Amino acid sequence: MSPDFDTGPGNEGGPARPTPEWSVSLSVVIPAYDEEQSIGSTIERCLAAAATIKARTAVREIEFIVVSDGSTDRTAEIAASFSGIRLLAYARNRGYGAALKAGFAMASGDLLGFMDADGTCDPDFFGDLCRTILSEHADLAIGSRMHDASRMPMIRKFGNRLYAVLLSGLAGRKVDDTASGMRVFRRETLARLLPLPDGLHFTPAMTCRAIFQEGLSLRELPMPYHHREGRSKLHLLKDGLRFFHIIAEIALTYRPLLFFGGMAALLALVGLVYSLGPIVTYITRHQVPSNFIYRLTAIYAAGHAALLLLTIGVVAERVAAALNRSSRKGSRFKNMLLAMCSKRNMLTAGVFPIVAGILLNGGVLREYLTTGQISYHWSYVSLGGFLVLAGMQLAAMGMMELLLIRILERNREGIGSLAVPIPERAADATRHTQAHG
């Protein structure tokens, strides 16, 4: 549904104003853990920004929800002194993400937003985010800190750029700021983004799920970003590793073939390069010297591992597509690879190397069974064993894919979403419901 905008008298030269009959509400959650130095000014700026947000967008009702996440200082006390907010105070620290999810459970707005309580974000910018959501029919709008005017410390800016490049490469969609603490999204979008973690890696996890989610539109807008007030809760090494872990985890959930296929390609390349010597020697001298036995063992190991990882990636990709109900078209190479490695093709293809390995070692087996000795060159035995194991891997993975996909298709109607519901309000929280802004 598109809004009707009024550009009549009294609004010339200014932003388009929505007509009164089309309006939405906004709930902003502000998680705070020991932020007594900044929480007061943050709330004051939020309350002052309410009028600006309403003037620039279709938002007609705004509520601000402060979640004191087990603060041991005066954060909750200072927040409680304001009459224009709703306060949720926990006795113990539960985590940044847990505080946000608790705030979302309290929220009543059509649009949900959040911002950090450390003074780095400008609440006026919610106007830009909301306008983008509504005018561009986006699902999630993120304030990006990755620009020249940003006051983000250089080491954190470098880390964020690194994660953005990694995530963009994995997802095939460009993103600039993976961990911004200022966002707005539609209420119905939250169910598609869950489950999300309770810690500080909540924001990169949300970004990951958004860009991997089929049919979910994300917009990034450069936002003002200032130096924080008070001590940062972010630990560069520990939280950096958590950010990397969540990116890898969600990438495996949505794009497993890219992960496993990449490792398979690397191993296959190593095996191919390492096999050049034996191949050239066999062509020129018509033999494989005994000193190549260790090299061939390494080549066979790399080949088996590459084939195993590739087939795991193919099966996981199809299972992920079935679970996530994705119909996203991949690259031409990916589609060709999936077609070649269909369950029927893998089952069929697995038979040929098994038969070839048995035929190659037919004489070896007969000689061993009749004389108890083997006079054949060791390369026959090793190559035959490699072919049989490769065929068994292909056939086993084809059978696994056949069974898994059949089970998923049979139970498709009962699978539903993998997301978890928004958490209920925790029993150990103290709530102060006060006037809306």
Structure confidence at residue 189 (pLDDT)? 94
The 10s digit of each residue's pLDDT in 314-359 is 888 877 777 666 555 566 767 677 777 777 777 788 888 888 888 8
Question: Can you state the percent helix, strand and coil of the chain, rounding each to 5?
Answer: 55, 10, 30
Residue 3 lies in a domain: no
Residue 1 lies in a domain: no
Do 246 and 260 fall within a single domain?
A: no
Q: Which residue has the higher pLDDT, 151 or 261?
A: 261
The 10s digit of each residue's pLDDT in 262-312 is 889 999 999 899 888 888 888 888 887 888 888 888 888 888 889 888 888
Structure confidence at residue 372 (pLDDT)? 82
393 CA to centre of own chain: 30
Do 334 and 264 fall within a single domain?
A: yes
Domain-ending residue, one of 227, 253, 279: 253
The answer, yes or no, to whether residue 368 has pLDDT greater than 90, is: no
Residue 329 lies in a domain: yes
* Length of the chain in terms of residues written: 437
Do 208 and 190 fall within a single domain?
A: yes
Which range, 21-25, 114-118, 388-392, is most confident?
Answer: 114-118
d(CA 157, CA 83): 37
Task: State the average pLDDT over residues 419-426.
Answer: 43
Q: What SS3 class is residue 228?
A: coil
Do 164 and 30 fall within a single domain?
A: yes
The domain in which residue 292 lies consists of 256-415
Do 208 and 65 fall within a single domain?
A: yes
Q: Which residue has the higher pLDDT, 117 or 154?
A: 117
Residue 9 lies in a domain: no
The answer, yes or no, to whether residue 8 has pLDDT greater than 50, is: no
Structure confidence at residue 45 (pLDDT)? 94
Give the pair of three-digit tokens for residue 185: 């999204």
Question: What's the number of domains the chain is made of?
Answer: 2
The answer, yes or no, to whether residue 428 has pLDDT greater than 70, is: no
Do 269 and 341 fall within a single domain?
A: yes
d(CA 181, CA 32): 12
Do 186 and 292 fall within a single domain?
A: no
d(CA 387, CA 38): 67
Do 222 and 79 fall within a single domain?
A: yes
Do 291 and 234 fall within a single domain?
A: no
Do 202 and 325 fall within a single domain?
A: no
Residue 421 lies in a domain: no
Structure confidence at residue 234 (pLDDT)? 59
Domain-ending residue, one of 253, 285, 309: 253
The percentage of residues in the chain with a pLDDT greater than 70, rounded to a whole number, is 79
Q: What angle do CA 297, 301, 302 make, to 5 degrees?
A: 120
Query: What CATH number is given to the structural domain containing 123?
Result: 3.90.550.10
The 10s digit of each residue's pLDDT in 119-163 is 888 999 999 999 999 999 999 999 998 877 776 667 667 777 887
The 10s digit of each residue's pLDDT in 374-406 is 888 777 788 888 888 888 888 887 777 777 766
Do 66 and 151 fall within a single domain?
A: yes
Cβ atoms of 400 and 315 within 8 Å: the answer is yes
Cis peptide bond prior to 123, omega within 30° of 0: no
Residue 5 lies in a domain: no
Residue 30 lies in a domain: yes
Cβ atoms of 391 and 350 within 8 Å: the answer is yes
The DSSP output letter for 81 is T
Do 246 and 276 fall within a single domain?
A: no
Domain-ending residue, one of 253, 288, 310: 253
Residue 194 lies in a domain: yes
